[in-house]
Structure 1
Amino acid sequence: MDKKILTLNIVVSILILVVIAMIASDVIAYKLSRTFPSSLKKESTLAPAVRRNDLAAFSSILEKGLFGKATQGRLTPIAQAEGPAATSPNDLILLGTAIGSFRETFAFILRQSTHEEKVFRLGEDVFDIGPLVSVRKEGVEIQSGDSRIKLLTPTEVPGEAAGAPGTASQAGSLASKVSPGGYVIDQRALTAALDNIGQAMSDARLLPNSKDGKVEGFNVSEVKPGGIFAMVGINNGDTLLSINDFALDSPEKAMQTLVSLKGQSRIKLDLIRNGRPTTFTYDIR
């Protein structure tokens, strides 16, 4: 009887020692993992690469068709998905600029690959390239990393001079007066002028007319004879308030409204000329 009890005690003691050893092993492993976390992370990051190499080692088996012709083939690596391509500077075209105070200075830029036209305020990021850091009548500059990208406005036609103040006779061949304040414009001529929106944006200079910190229309100057602004009868010195009842209270609206004229059958201009509110309507035929 004593022998049986002794044997049982020995077995129980051995089991207790095994349990203690397992607990001690877990405690030591936990402390080591807390002490050397970086080495464990390196091992975990290397594991997928090792697995890929292990998989590549079986490519010869697949190519030789070890398990019959039905299983013969090539092991093709999985191509990693590429992110969207960054916009190239050559993909951008400067359509026009509007220059005023810091918050009223803009550039109208076209991304050719997506046919996206967008107005950017000075300081804003131009698509995914970088911030717009400089806006002038002849061009803009975009900061891209440590370098600057320059975009120039469409080249002006040589020999053209700015329209003289108070004259709109150049529009006479394109627009004919049918009533006081009412005109008819040739549709083909208007469409042709708007087909090159970049050139149209350089047909006059628009400066925000600010009152009490708000934009109320745009002061027009440097109107080019034969351009879109001269065609619709806008003169140097006019203040353009609205087009088709859309108030021009920001450079974005001014540029976008000009673009939207293409395809219209009627144009209404509200402006101030010589200090007086004036309205012109144009039927496009």
Structure 2
Amino acid sequence: MSKDQHPSIIAAFWMTGALFSFMAMAVSGRELSQDLSTFQILFFRSLIGVFLIGFLVARSRHGWSQLATRRTKGHLIRNLAHFGGQYGWFYGLAFIPLAEVIAIEFTTPIWTALLAWLLLSERITLPRLIALIFGVSGLLLILRPGMESLHPASFAVLAGAMGYALSYIQTKSLSATDTPLCILFYMTVMQLPLGLIPSVMDWKTPGMHSIPWILVVALTAMSAHYCMARAFKLADATVVVPMDFLRLPLIAVVGYLFYEEVIDWPVAAGAGLMLAGNLINIHAERRKSPLRHESLREPLSPE
């Protein structure tokens, strides 16, 4: 690509890679759920991730020395929360429409703002409060409590979004002292036994047809957030976040074409409310600090 291209155009290309990675990860998770438990999916994902991140650490400028950390407790809290987030996400893929999983996941900025207020003493400004109100309204529109029976998987995804939020708060804290590769390395190492131990209790040997899907899950987990991180580095969140919300209509089309899932318009409307709230908050943050590139989601943590 030409070096004289506008950074926002290059960021859009990186986000295209992230979007396709997220969709491939969702489809592969749905396919694997037919043969493997959620714990096994997470185990294989971490197993491949250990080798992949280990290779990147070995080739990086700081090498293995960057893994020295005094914040083992912080890494443990982050990875327990992130593992819970992953479990809720992959569990939801097996039982509810793909678009509903992604839409509920978009509540993560709501819980991140609340946890930042509770744990980091960050102020909830008027724009942030508006984003919270829009987000909760969108969530109620998606879940439609009282109108129909809700599948437990919906609540699992919602709990997973809360887990992701706590992991993002911990990532923000850890990134002050540890490198991104250090954070990702401990993520794979710590989450490996969390997936392995429950898997052994109900082990199902994956067939040859599952191997490609396992590889897709592991590789797209890394590629999705690598692409997103590159996009955030090149452009403001006002460019990147709206593109991330394209995951919802795109995954709805995938669900319709491959799984005959009906496109649920209340889910789309609810996600639209969340997007509106996020954009209001991002615009306010940019006016307050024009040189600061804000993002409502940490791109370091693979979902």
The answer to whether the superposition gives a TM-score over 0.5 is no
**Which of the five TM-score ranges fits, normalised by the shorter chain?**
under 0.3
Larger radius of gyration: 1
Q: Normalization by structure 1: what TM-score?
A: 0.21
Give the structure with the higher percent strand. 1
Q: Normalization by structure 2: what TM-score?
A: 0.20
Structure of higher RCO (CA pairs closer than 8 Å, 6+ residues apart):
2
